[in-house]
Amino acid sequence: MILFYSSASPYARKVRMVAVEAGLDNLIELVVINPRDAESGLREHNPLSRVPALVTDDDVALFDSRVIVEYLDHANPGRKLIPPPGPARWETLVRGALGDGLMDASVPRRQEMARPKNEQSPDFLERMRLDTARTLNKLETITDALRTVDIGSIAVAAALGYLDYRFPDDRWRENRPKLANWLEGFSTRRSWRETLPE
């Protein structure tokens, strides 16, 4: 398998963390690319030119981190990271959606802040900041559920790592001691350490 990714992408990091936790990382060739580079070869596999994109051993191109995660979990010979249909699955997927939602607010915020100051939308930036704060506050109330390593906790960890990487001045840990403590524990895992942004 070949995974096209960008080191800074929290979505790609989520996929890479899943690969490690599923014991499949040694079966995946990692190819670091710039999604905006037309010569990278990414567009041949993903017309959206976004990372991550996975090319399977059968030469099938999969994209969107949620699709890739489900594929890897299906191939996972060990304990599944996505439970079978039922209450546990929905709860896990909702936690994953909170992590993905943090990414969905943070990545566009970062892109907006990269624009010239006079072209930035203060209203958009404030909306993304508030979405992030509300999500973090919700996560503070469910840290016990995050102690199980599954797609929910992995997505949250990848999102929090992105906040630390791109927005260190946000100090998201203030007034969220349980979430900060949870991430400190999660950060000892090999999947966290081996996927840190370069």
Instruction: List pLDDT tens digits, range 29-65.
Output: 999 998 777 777 777 877 776 899 999 999 999 999 9
Q: Look at residue 48 in the predicted model and tell me its pLDDT.
A: 76
pLDDT in tens, 76-119: 988 999 999 999 999 999 999 999 999 999 999 999 999 999 99
Q: What letter represents residue 43's amino acid?
A: R
The pLDDT score that the predictor gives to residue 42 is 76
* Mean pLDDT of all residues in 10-26: 97
Tell me the CA distances in angstroms from 161 to 2, 45, 164, one per residue in order: 24, 27, 5
Per-residue pLDDT at 147 = 96
Q: Are 35 and 74 in contact (CB under 8 A)?
A: no
Q: Which residues pair with 62 in a beta bridge?
A: 54
Given 3.40.30.10, 3.40.50.720, 3.40.50.2000, 3.40.50.970, which CATH number is that of 2-75? 3.40.30.10
Q: What is the mean pLDDT of the chain?
A: 95
Q: What's this model's pTM, rounded to 2 decimal places?
A: 0.94
What is residue 34's predicted lDDT score, i.e. its pLDDT? Answer: 81
Q: Start-end ranges of CATH 1.20.1050.10 in the chain?
A: 87-189
